[in-house]
Amino acid sequence: MGFMDKVKEKASKAAGAAKQSVSESSAKMKEWNEERKEMDKPLEGAIKRYSVTYIGGLAEYPKKKSGYIGMNIMPDRFVFTPTIGTKDWFNEYEIPYDKISELNIEKRTISTSEILLGASDNANQQQENVICILYTDAQGQKLTLRVEMLTGGTIYNQAAACREFTALLRQHEITDKFQSAKKEKNSTSSGGDVLAQLEKLNQLKMAGILTEDEFNAKKKDLLAKL
């Protein structure tokens, strides 16, 4: 084999190896994209899914983490799911609505870089885009999970996504399932029952069926239930 033949053979092998490498890289990229798309889908039965980033509140993740996770609004609970960029450290996490005592949207101050990158309203440098969930976990611990809304891109659109999020909770009567809402409902119901019974007692007293002392004693017992 002549010198030029050897050169051509080496060049051919190098080109073949490069082509194989590109092919393998393309296959891996395709596989990665397919996995990412699958992990970014809402869970089956979800009302809506938002992308959020973890700020804090869970003992297993004491510090703010990079990357985003999925926040799925289910009929009976929030389900937070990992994505392609967070699957190495985040495990699926659920918060049943009946364990939530309060849910607030807090403000975050816009950074200078965000203003330069498109936040046009310099006078309004605080936007509500941090979701805070106060709840009781399965062990009875009172916790506060904080996540920042990422759906929307810019901080103003993220704040708009938070408004949509809270509107969805009201629309689907999810806030009525919170602990605080149930306690208020039960308290109102109990108060209404007591008032109705007091009215009946008063009618019995007016009819002469109950004496003044009997009426006052039963009235005291009922008022103690409020």
Closest CA relative to residue 95, chosen from 146, 53, 44: 146
Tokens representing 125 are 């440098």
Task: Burial-class residue 204 by CB neighbours within 10 Å (0-12, 13-18, 19+).
Answer: middle
DSSP 9: H
The architecture CATH gives domain 48-172 = Roll (2.30)
* Residues of the chain scoring pLDDT < 70: 1-24, 109-125, 180-192, 194, 204-205, 207-210, 222-226
Q: What is the pLDDT of residue 169?
A: 96
pLDDT at 155: 85
pLDDT, residue 214, reads 73
- What pLDDT does residue 25 have? 76
Q: Would you say the pTM of this structure is higher than 0.75?
A: no
**Is the CB of residue 121 less than 8 Å from the CB of residue 78?**
no
Q: Residue 225 has what pLDDT?
A: 62
Q: For the stretch 212-222, what's the b/e string if a residue is b when 16 or more beta carbons lie within 10 angstroms of its beta carbon?
A: eeebeebbeee
The per-residue pLDDT for 147 is 96
